[in-house]
Amino acid sequence: MNRDDVEIIEKKTKFKGFFRLDCYRLRHRLFEGGWSEVRSQEVFERGNAAAALLYDPDNNAVVLIEQFRPGAFTSDRGTPWLVEIVAGMVEDGEDVEQTIRREAIEESGSTILDIVPMVNVFASPGGSSEIVSLFCGRVDSRDVGGIHGHAVEGENIRVIVEPADIAFKRLRSGDIHNAIFVIALQWLEKHGDALRQTWLVQSTG
């Protein structure tokens, strides 16, 4: 099936601010044939995002960030301060690579020296159109740390440099609660050795 198998009866914007909430009345074709009943579906529109796992191949370390997340707070499950990878919304006039290079500096003080795409994923397709473009970014983790973020946007971000092996152990223990962080670490665990060798050869070549 494809987009032609969906019929939009009505679309209304219920809220428009920094984000937008649209309400659709629609129906779609059924696997067994025919059409579904007309139903209402709200879609949260926040644009697309880019994220990167910052990796230092020379020290086999990852650069992570920790910050307060209101969604985690209202869930009432564990601490609302989450350890994550750098990420941000794609702004007008930017492509996803430009976005993540900007966010790496803003959120962690790190300059991405080289970049490899991982995967593009829907963040929550049941109710949002947002697509997150994931990357692995090469950085130099020496002298990286401190507190970063834009105070006017309420950002208070702590930078963490951690050996990759420790991050993999935390992944397997279930200690990571951010979906794109999980995906990125799984990717690095699978492809990290080959990527590290490639980047180290490039450095010596």
Contact 166, 83 (CB under 8 A): no
- Answer whether 85's CB lies under 8 Å from 162's CB: no
Residue whose C-alpha is closest to residue 203's, from 80, 118, 113, 72: 113
Structural contact between residues 131 and 123, judged by C-beta atoms closer than 8 angstroms: yes
CB-based burial label for 14 (10 Å; 0-12, 13-18, 19+) = exposed
199 vs 56: CA distance, rounded Å: 10
Supply 10's token pair.
């009505």
Select which of 7, 42, 153, 189 is catalytic.
Answer: 153
Question: Could you give phi then psi for residue 196, rounded to 5 degrees?
Answer: -60, -45
Lookup result for tokens 């962080």? 181
Per the CB < 8 A criterion, the answer to whether 60 and 197 are in contact is: no
- 153 flagged as catalytic: yes
Distance, CA of 135 to CA of 50 (rounded, Å): 8
Tell me the catalytic residues.
Answer: 153
